Structure formats: C-alpha cells, structure tokens
Structure 1
Amino acid sequence: MATRTRMAAGILALAASVLAFPTSADTLVPQTKLRVGVIQWMPTKGMYERWDALGGDFVVSQDGTVVMPVIGPVSIGDLDTVGLAAEIAKRLQEKLALVDRPDTTVEILDYPPVYVVGDVTKPGEYRYREGMTVLQALALSGGRSRVRVRAFEDEARLVSELQSIETGILRSTARIARLEAEKQGARGISFPAAAADDQSAQQIFAQERVIFTTRANELERQTGSLADLRELLSTEIDVLQEKIKAADASIRSAETELANVTGLVEKGIAVASRKSDLERALSSDRMDRLDQITAVMRARQAISEATRNEDGLRDRKQTEVAAELQAEQASLAELKRRRELSQKLLLDRLGSQQGAGAQEAQPTFTIIRRQNGLPVEIAASSATDVAPGDVVSVAGRQAPEASGPAATAEFSATDTSSEELGQ
C-alpha cells in the first residue's frame, strides 16, 4: 500500500511539472521558420490580389520577434500562428490606412530541431515533427545505449572534441582581440590572460601578431604611396607656377615689343613681317601659359583623387574589420554552445559508466527547455510531448532489488516497433 501511495505521488508530481510548461505544435519558439501570405480583396477588380512584397519566408529571432516589411519587428509573445496572423493584419491595416484588414496567413515551414543526449545510441539533433513524444525522440536516437564496449572510445572522442573546441575558442578569442585592435587603430594587441607555459596559446598569439603587423604594414605602404604621390604632385604644381610666372614675364615683354614695332610699321620705318612674327610669338607664349595652367589644374585634381583614395582605403579597411569581427563573434558564440553541449554529453557518458557493474538501469527522462531566455529542467516520462528546440536528456537509474514484471513493464517500450511509436 505504501509503495502504491509513493507511485501515485510521483505520478502527480510528474503531471504537475508537465502541466506547468504546456507545449503546442503551433508554439513559435526562436528559429522557427514561417511563411507569411498577405492577400487583399480589390473591389475595383473584383478579385483577390496577393501582396508578395509584404509576405515571404521569415525566421523567429532569438529574442522572439519577426521582422516584417513595412511594419517592422512583431513580438511573438505567446501568440500562435492564428494570433500572429491577426496581429500582422492589424498592424498592416494601421500602417497602410486600409479600410479592411488584409487576409493574412502564417504557416510553419520548419521547427527548430530537438536534441537527444545522454544514455542513447546516437546522441545529437533530430528534426522535430508535430506530436513528437520523448519515446519517439529516443527511438530516433537509436534507443538506449546497451553496448559498453565502445564507452572508452566515445569518451575519448568527446574529450578530443572538447580539446578541439577549446583550441578553437582560444583561437577565436585571439582573433577577436586582434580585430578589435585593428578597429581602434591601436599599436598593439591586448590578448586575454593565458598561462606562461601554455605553448599553444603563445603560438596562436604570435600568429595573430604577425597578421596584425603584416596588415598594418600593408595599409601603411598603401597610404604612404598615396602620400608620396601627393607630395610629387605638389612639387610639380610649384614648378608649373614658376613656369607660369616666367611665361607672364615673356608675354609682357612680347606685348611691349609688339606695341613698339606696330608704331614703327605705321610710320613706315619697320616692315610688316616683323610685326607678324611678334604676333605669332606672343600667341605661342599665351598658348604655353594656358597649357601650364591646365597642367596645374590636372595636378590638383590628381591630389584630390589621391586623398579620396586614401580615405576610401581606410574606410574599406574599417568595413572589412567590422565584418570579420561580427563573423568571428558569431563563430565564438557557436563554439561556446558546442562546448556546453559536448560537456553535457561527456558528463552523461561518465555518469552512465558509474553503474556499469550494477543491474540494468531504468531510464529517467529530463527535458531542458528555455523559458523566458533561461534553461529550465522538466521531469518527463516516455509519453511527455516534446517542444521544438528541447533537449531531451536520457539517464539510467538503478533498478530496485525486488523488481517484478510491473517494475520493468513501463520502459520495455524502448524496443517497441515503429507502429507503436505513433506514426
């Protein structure tokens, strides 16, 4: 009687924990892929018109919003597909000043995957489908791991993967430090603290310093070449200015001489050919002066172009650094997520080995689900519904000493056929 009472209390506690976190196939969790369609009745045409520019495929962001054309971000909150469609239609009506709300539909194209970890044959991520239960997720992962022969190899693989991820995190962190230094125009890189005897870290830091110095030297060479070009053009302008002054003096002298010869020709003292020669010489001097002025203008234009090229070079450098920094920060976040998952897998593996010499363990299921941005552990059974993005953790617990048929019947469904999994 006491055993039945404890079992009933356990079942009630499990039901309460599941009811506290209800799930639905229409729950719009982050990374859910949606297709939004918008149509409007056009009385003048007597037909519906589809507004492709306002619809399309979208993904729920990590902060629980969908960014739509025209109306901007729409907060999901606790909306399902019908509620989201109504909210979008309402916002479109207000934004576009429509008389009637447009007909809006929201279709779920794909859900985030579910992750199965722990005492299973093939831990990893699996595609979610509506109505999936813990038992079905366990079946997708190959059922419980019963073979212990390869346990050491699995643990070694996870340790090696963790070491590789740690190296990747260190390399990514060093690269971010180098990009931050390039972005700020610093003379050196401020790397995160590392042990003095950590040869791997010192090698990575040395590589990043080489890249930093090489890229800084390249930028300095390019800007230096443009500065030299501007200086050369400035010198050329100074020379041309001196030539223009000399040309002005020559023109004034020629004009004076022409005026004197013109008077002599009018008096019949000098021949007319002398006047013609002076006029041609004066015209040639004036043309040379115009050519020199044009050359000065071209040199100044070249200086302006060199200045623009230098500014553009620095702007492109900043743009490239910002893009690389953004991509590297995203890569670092992904590496940290993988490290967390690998650590969880390794801990589950090590924990499962502690009872290797004991009786066959019965599995316990835990669902790790994000609620308000925080992971929450939920006790589950084999029939508990799984939500998109859940992490299903399977762990073994030692069976009781006096076990009978009723004690093992509940989880004998691990080897159930596919027809019994609710296709």
Structure 2
Amino acid sequence: MTSQITPNSFLTRTGPSAAASTTVFFISGNPGLISYYHPFLSLLSKYLAEPEDNGIEAKKLPALQLYGCSLGGFEINSDASDQLSLSSSPKSDASVPKHRKQPGKAGDYDLEDQIRFVDQKLTVLMETTIAARSHDHRPDSSPGGTATQRPKVILIGHSVGAYIAMEILRRHRETIPKNSSERRAAQLASMNDYSPPELDIVGGAMLFPTVIDIAASPSGQKLTTLLSFIPRLAMLVGLLVRLLTFLLPDFVLRSVVRFVMKSPPSHALDATVAFLKSSGGVRQALHMATDEMRTITSDKWTDDVWGAATAREPLMKLVFYFGRNDHWVAEKTRNEIIALRGRKEGSGPTMLVCEEGLPHAFCLKHSDTMARKVAGMIREILT
C-alpha cells in the first residue's frame, strides 16, 4: 500500500512498508471528518520518526503505520481514491477473502453503526497490511518484524472516538481464546470459514475521552434539554443548513464560518465548509450526538478491557488524557473515572489531566502540542 492523504482518509508510515509491524489506528470524534486531524496526524508521524533523546542515547522507534478515516456518514467528495481498497495489496487475490466489502449503510449512523464501521475499517486495513507484508518481506528486511509475526495495533481515540476504541478493544478481547481447547476450536473453524486477521491490540491513547455519562457534561446537559423540546433536531437543523449553504455564495459562507470559529487555521476552515456543504454531514453529526446521550452512560467494561492486574494476557497499556473544564466531560465524571479505574499497584490505565488549558477540540489550533504528547504516549506503550 502506498501512502495517501485525502479528504476522507490518512495513511502514512515512518519507515519501509515491510518493516512497519505496528499500526497506529486513529478514531476521530464527532463530527467525524478526518481532514480536521490531518495536521495532527502529519505532525505525529514526524515526531514518531524522530529519535527520542533521553540525555543518554537517542532511541528510535521501529517503523510505524498511521491510519485514520472519516466516520460513516461524514465522507465528503467520495471517490475511488478515498477508499482503502484491498486491490492495493499485491497479493490481495490470494491472501484476502474476496467477500470482504467496504463498510457502508443506507441512512444515518448511530453509535453502534459507527463502532461496526470502524471495526471493519480496521479489519480491512490489517488484511491488506498482512497481505502486503507477506508479499514484500525479504530475509534481509530491516528490523521491525517478519511476515509471520502478528501485527500490533495501537488505538487512538478522540472524544467519542475513545468510546468507539474501547468498544473495539472489548470485542477484540472477547475473541481471544482463553485456553488451549478454545484455541484448537478457533483453528478448526478458521479452516472452513472466514476469520478476522490475527492481531494484538497492545495499547491505546484516549484523548479528551467521552466514555462515561456524557449527558452529565455541560454540553451534554444543553443538548439533552434541547432534544426534549425538539426531538427531530437532527433532521430540522440538517435541512436548515442545507438551505443556507444552497443560498449563500461560497465566499459569504466562508466568511461566516471564519467569524463564528474566530479565524480558524485554513485546514479547519476548509473542513468545516466542506462539512456544512456535504449532503448529510450536519444531520449525521446531530443524529450521532443524540444517540451518544442515550448510549454513553455507566462504565460497561471489565478489568480485562481496562488492562487491570486481573486481566489476562496479552496485557495492554492504556493512557487517558483528560482536559480541565472540558465541556463534554463533567469534572465529577472525570474524577470518578480516575479514582475507580486509574493505575493501581502498577497496573491499569495511566490517567493524565491536562494542565495547559488545551481545549476539547485540540485539532483546530493545538495539533503540534498534542502530537508531541501522543508521540510520547506511543513510545511509552511500545517500551
């Protein structure tokens, strides 16, 4: 697979393709346009490629693959070049089941739809990656893994993307055989039927995570109140925005967006205008947000998913990075998560609280700062 950056996807590597045994898989928040995160992901790739100087020696990470895509229903200017196709793999016909299809559905995506959409994107990506590595691997390949090693995955989720990441992690953990008899049964089943590619999710970085009680947050309370008065909010606002974008000349629309967003950087302005002009992006965002209020409530994950001491192998390293005065995460909710699920006795997720005043929507104006922080998290996960 070659690197690609399009309005709907981001794919790059920090070294040779055959050496990239670990994939950093990014899941965006809502609205789910990956173009909001292009600068962040580009900077993250840059910092991960640079050696880390700890004052004693400069350590360089093995080659990594970074991937992200727009969530379902948010795609803009979609065409063939925006789709991660199995045909990009030299060995796709021989190594990847032909019945695999690109994720997609008719109508708006709720949160469960998005989880399945992202999970399938991850499956397709890893099938293609494994096939490409099998084709490209040579005995003298640079360090980073062989074609027979199970690929590693690190999930990065922003906002509701963190919830999606945790759910993908839970479902992946549930497929791992617990004992030798289960492993044997899985091997026999895979001989006759399709089975997902074998991979190890070794860690995750959850940024400004909305994983519990989102409706208790300041913005969640406002949205819940609004929905109680206007149950069809997504449809009504979607129609209104479509009418306005149809009537307003492009330069006027851009001026309005620039004023409302207080002079955003060019990538954020372009992404927002494209989002507003898309056929159903605004409706999709509000439809999904409505479902988030109903779905993201109590803690629904076991110690095994949280990576606590009682979890079974392989253990994962999770990092949660919270903001202060985050309008989508109540202070009380954040403190309860840290108290109940934070690292204890050397196990469990690392919980960090931002002391620099970074906003929930860091991808608009603070990509460089967050890219440096996340690069450090990934180094910690891999060491």
Structure 1 and Structure 2 fold alike (TM over 0.5)? no
More helix by share: 1
TM-score, normalisation: structure 2: 0.19
